A and B are shown apart, each in its own frame.
Chain A
Amino acid sequence: MRILEGQGVTKNFGGLAAVSHVDFHIDQGEIVGLIGPNGAGKTTLFNLTSGALPLSSGEITFKGQKLNGLKPHRVCKIGIGRTFQEIKIFGNMPVIQNVLVGAFFGSPNRISAADAAREASQALEFVGLSAMAGDSIQDLTLANQKRVEVARALATRPELLLLDELMAGLNPAEVSEAMELVTKIRDKGITIFMVEHVMKAIMGICERIMVLHHGEKIAEGTPREIAANKKVIEIYLGEETHAGS
């Protein structure tokens, strides 16, 4: 079943088409990767989905419901959670309260303080940070701050989770842990759409990969197909394999 679907998705910033006529879909239970060089329009596509930016044309539907014109808080409540490329934590609160915000306001129905607290501590436990619940979030490592963002998004009880460069800036050991976390989230029944630059991660856990270049979708397929795709190698993986391996 298609959980998220985009048709002719377009975003213009002045004369620049950041995302141009992109058709895409995500099936329930999938882990889909979104890759492309810097400025390809990946984060813009996420922002269009989460309601942070309005579409110029086209439409995005979530479980058949049109997302066009919905504000981020509405999109969150209907079941799409997200994290951010540049972490956006609540630096003025301890770790557990960051997650509590998601638990309190993310569900469509008003929930009690006790339920919210339970939801938040479960989410924090899920990402393995229970021990740091009371710490100031500013004192955490980048990898752990990103985990808090994931926990915060999970606390909103999403059906679809948008992960924007979860692995960026992490060391190899942390990348492996983050990959495990992503798989664990999917096993929980949450569909995942992730932007990633770390090839090891994207090739290792995604079932399907979409490639954006200059705002257009140039390829789509399994990791193996993408790795063999000439166009992709030319514009993107070519440089990456030299640099990476």
Chain B
Amino acid sequence: MDITSFISTHRKLLALGFVLLILIFLATFPLYGNEYYINLLTTILMYTVLAVSWAMFSGATGYMSLATAAFFGIGIMATAFLEGTLPSPVIIVIGGLLSAALAFLIGLVTLRLKGIYFTIFTFGFVMFISQTAYYIDSHILGNAWGHELPLPDPGMLHYTMLGLVVVTLLAIYFIRRSRYGLVLLSIGGNEEAAEHMGINTTKMKVILFTISSAFMGAAGAIYAPALVHVEARIAFNVFNSFVPILMAIFGGMGQFYGPVIGAAVFGYLDRTLRVELAEYFMLVFGIMLVVVIMFLPNGITGLIQSLQKTRPIAKLLHRGKEEQHANT
């Protein structure tokens, strides 16, 4: 058995092994890595949750939500207010549930809107919640200087976020493979036809939008201590609505792992470019996005797939398969 046919027959096993290697790396990194890189990885993990959750709903259905920053921010504010009063796992769950509750309400009101109107509403909502939360927090509750959170232990923060990533990826992987994955895709493919095939599209959109935002809220609750100083306008920074979209498009939404790749690349750039270019890092983001959309409309995963179809090695792989069929 040569190497190419080995790859083609044990694809799933190899993929699983690869995922395991990455997990082992992530799980052991705090033991030998320095603090800067631990924090960098934590940031990437946080973005992974946002990008994958966003892509699960918006990528599949085509309902482009810009409300990610609102759900993420709710989680951050939950920690800001509850830190020290409750055990942190409880706070994380509360952050997720509050975001889900908010998403449920937004979904009920707006998921009847089609296309651009939904997107505009969700964008406006982030603006609204950012200003309102700032006003309430500083003027009514008297936290004019925001909230100081105790410095987190980088390792602890990293492991908590890694736990959330595992939970999120597993949940979304199974949702995508289940009948609900088909619901999401059919809504994106042709919502009217989906409705006529017996799918209560309004109900399904609200439920799945709610689920996806629970992960975002939990990510915010975990990440909050990394900000150290929290105030509403930081927590609800609209930047956090756009970055996951960049990541998902860059990685490619056709494959489950696309947004993960996007999160890794952009998460890394986000941290390093912020240090080196300060305010100009957004410029680099923008240029990269334009280039990707122009030349790689299906993202990195789309590129990989089209390479697999044309490259000689793919032909070899294919031949290996055919021989196998002939043998059986």
**A→B interface (CB under 8 Å):** 50, 52, 71-73, 75-77, 82, 84, 88-93, 97, 100-102, 104-107, 113, 116, 152, 156
Contact = CB atoms under 8 A, between A and B. Distances in A.
A71 B198 CA distance: 9
Interface stretch (B68-76, B79-87, B90-98, B180-188): B180-188
A90 B192 CA distance: 10
B189 A89 contact: yes
A101 B192 contact: no
Contacts of B197: 73, 76, 101-102, 105-106, 152, 156
B198 A102 contact: yes
Given A71-B200, A73-B200, A100-B182, A92 B188 contact: yes
B198 A93 contact: no
B167 to A, nearest CB: 23
A104 B200 contact: no
B3 to A, nearest CB: 27
Contacts of B192: 52, 72, 84, 88
Contacts of B185: 90, 92-93, 97
A106 B182 CA distance: 13
B188 to A, nearest CB: 6
B12 interface: no
Contacts of B183: 105
A84 B197 CA distance: 12
Interface in B158-217: 179, 182-183, 185-186, 188-190, 192-201
A88 B193 contact: yes
A91 to B, nearest CB: 6
Given A91-B189, A105-B199, 10 more contacts: A52-B192, A72-B195, A72-B196, A73-B199, A73-B200, A76-B196, A82-B196, A88-B193, A92-B188, A101-B194
Given A102-B198, A105-B197, A92 B189 contact: yes
Interface of B: 179, 182-183, 185-186, 188-190, 192-201
Contacts of A156: 197-198
Contacts of B199: 73, 101, 105
Given A89-B193, A90-B193, A113-B179, A101 B200 contact: no
Contacts of A73: 195-201
A97 B183 CA distance: 11
Contacts of A100: 182
11 contacts: A77-B198, A84-B193, A89-B193, A90-B194, A91-B190, A93-B185, A101-B194, A105-B197, A105-B198, A113-B179, A152-B197
A73 B192 CA distance: 10
Contact of A88 (B190, B198, B200): B190
B190 A89 contact: yes
B41 to A, nearest CB: 33
Most buried by A among B189, B190, B198, B199: B198
Contacts of A105: 179, 183, 197-199
Nearest to A106: B198
Contacts of A84: 192-193
B318 to A, nearest CB: 15
Contacts of B196: 50, 52, 72-73, 75-76, 82, 88
